[in-house]
């Protein structure tokens, strides 16, 4: 502590943590310094951090890999202002297989009262199937075994959303409203093809890396949006919900119609309304056992939506006895329940207890209407990160894309 002595008896004590105690007498000051060799008190130092930062030190973001773009590598700085209440995120993404550089800008503004404004726009490759697997898991499955559980389209897209976070005990609700406009076009190849990005396995498989990517209707879609996020956590019980409603008042028409289950459906005006609902829940049951639920639904009451609003089912992430994303449309329903039983008497090095799981899944997807549900029953054995499962379809009806049983190997990044 440095002591400043004022002539006239006043003393100012400058404390190491920045507090200043003053007995004021406004005369000239004389500073007493510590004797030579005494330790220097560095006190409290304020560092003014730059509002601009480079993720990973050079601006690179987490890359993704898929059968349409190949390697998608984003780069850009992050800008934080006003005590991190304003976050600006400009990026340019290089997509190796299609040879494109896509610019994108996202801005997030948060008030002290919990109101948030999101504004974003740019060019990119988009999907409606991100709920099946995370981007990282889908990338690992694609580059490893050629299993890409997403379909894609390209778009110039911009949107704005205003939301408000409301906390009620253990429940957090975040409702929001906004608008979006976009110009969409197809990407990839809509038929089985011979050109695909590289993968370790599955590069030449027609149901993997060479799997067709469905075409979309080219044109603009302008919509009003509503959104609700909810999260609950208490005493080991976790639940989340994500719901959106889109009312499109300017979309490309489908005058020639789309055939679904032998019925031709059409939407000459292009207008449509679509709801997307996604939820998860999990809770402990007896001892270390637990039950986990997952559900996803896409509802399009009235006129059919264009193909850029279709969602898909099939494959290890949803219905294992159905070919990868073989079911699709603007109507989709999927539920899954899994009961997990750790074998407590067995303790394996590094990975802990083996886990036996029982799984039930049911789902369907179609255009204009929802067909009969396909059901799967499964049993699995796994350890941390890895699980092997065997699935059967108890109501099996043979088609070109369904099977009576299936084995799957799945990876989990949850520790």
17 within a domain of the structure (yes/no)? yes
312 within a domain of the structure (yes/no)? no
Residues of the chain with pLDDT under 70: 1-48, 254-265, 413-415
Chain segment 99-132, per-residue pLDDT in tens:
999 999 999 999 988 899 999 999 999 999 999 9
Note the pLDDT of residue 33.
Answer: 54
**CA 152, CA 308: separation in Å to the nearest integer?**
8
Residue 10: which domain range? 1-46
91 within a domain of the structure (yes/no)? no
Torsions phi, psi for 239 (to 5 deg): -145, 145
113 within a domain of the structure (yes/no)? no
214 within a domain of the structure (yes/no)? no
Look at the block and give the residue holding tokens 């190949």: 70
Number of domains in the chain: 1
Note the pLDDT of residue 259.
Answer: 56
pTM, rounded to two decimals = 0.85
29 within a domain of the structure (yes/no)? yes
Note the pLDDT of residue 47.
Answer: 62
Contact 138, 66 (CB under 8 A): yes
Note the pLDDT of residue 64.
Answer: 97
308 within a domain of the structure (yes/no)? no
User: Long-range contacts of range 14-23, CB-CB < 8 Å, 24 or more positions apart?
Assistant: 14/43, 16/41, 16/43, 16/44, 17/43, 17/44, 18/43, 18/44
116 within a domain of the structure (yes/no)? no
């Amino acid at each position: 502590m440095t002591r400043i002595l004022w002539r006239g008896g006043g003393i100012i004590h400058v404390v190491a943590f920045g507090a200043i105690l003053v007995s004021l007498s406004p005369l000239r000051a004389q500073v007493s310094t510590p004797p030579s060799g005494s330790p220097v008190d560095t006190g409290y130092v304020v560092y003014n951090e730059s509002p601009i930062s480079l993720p990973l030190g050079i601006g690179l973001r987490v890359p993704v890999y898929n059968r349409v773009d190949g390697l998608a590598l984003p780069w850009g700085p992050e800008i934080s202002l006003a005590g991190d209440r304003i976050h600006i995120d400009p990026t340019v993404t290089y997509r190796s297989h299609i040879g494109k550089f896509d610019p994108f800008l996202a801005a997030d503004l948060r008030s002290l009262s919990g109101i948030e404004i999101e504004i974003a726009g740019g060019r990119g490759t988009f999907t409606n199937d991100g709920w099946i697997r995370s981007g990282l898991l889908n990338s690992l499955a694609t580059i490893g075994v050629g299993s890409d559980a997403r379909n894609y389209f390209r778009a110039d897209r911009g949107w704005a959303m205003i939301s408000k976070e409301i906390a009620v005990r253990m429940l957090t609700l975040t409702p929001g409203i906004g608008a979006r406009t976009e110009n969409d076009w197809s990407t990839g190849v809509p038929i089985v093809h011979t050109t695909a990005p590289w993968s370790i396995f599955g590069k030449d498989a027609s149901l993997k890396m060479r799997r067709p990517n469905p075409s979309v209707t080219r044109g603009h879609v302008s919509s009003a949006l509503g959104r609700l996020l909810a999260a609950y956590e208490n005493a080991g019980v976790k639940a989340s919900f994500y719901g959106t409603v889109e009312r499109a008042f300017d979309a490309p028409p489908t005058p020639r119609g789309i055939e679904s289950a032998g019925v031709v459906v059409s939407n000459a005006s292009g207008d449509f309304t679509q709801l997307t609902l996604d939820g998860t829940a999990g809770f402990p049951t007896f001892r270390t056992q637990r039950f986990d639920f997952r559900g996803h639904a896409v509802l399009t009451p009235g006129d059919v939506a264009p193909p850029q609003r279709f969602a898909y089912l099939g494959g290890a992430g949803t219905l294992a006895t159905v070919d990868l994303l073989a079911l699709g449309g603007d109507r989709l329903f999927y539920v899954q329940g899994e009961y997990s039983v750790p074998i407590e008497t067995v303790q394996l090095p590094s990975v802990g207890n083996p886990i036996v799981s029982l799984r039930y899944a049911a789902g369907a997807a179609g255009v204009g209407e929802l067909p009969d549900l396909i059901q799967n029953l499964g049993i699995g054995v796994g350890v941390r990160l890895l699980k092997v499962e065997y699935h059967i379809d108890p109501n099996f009806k043979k088609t070109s894309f369904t099977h009576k049983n299936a084995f799957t190997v799945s990876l989990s990044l949850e520790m």
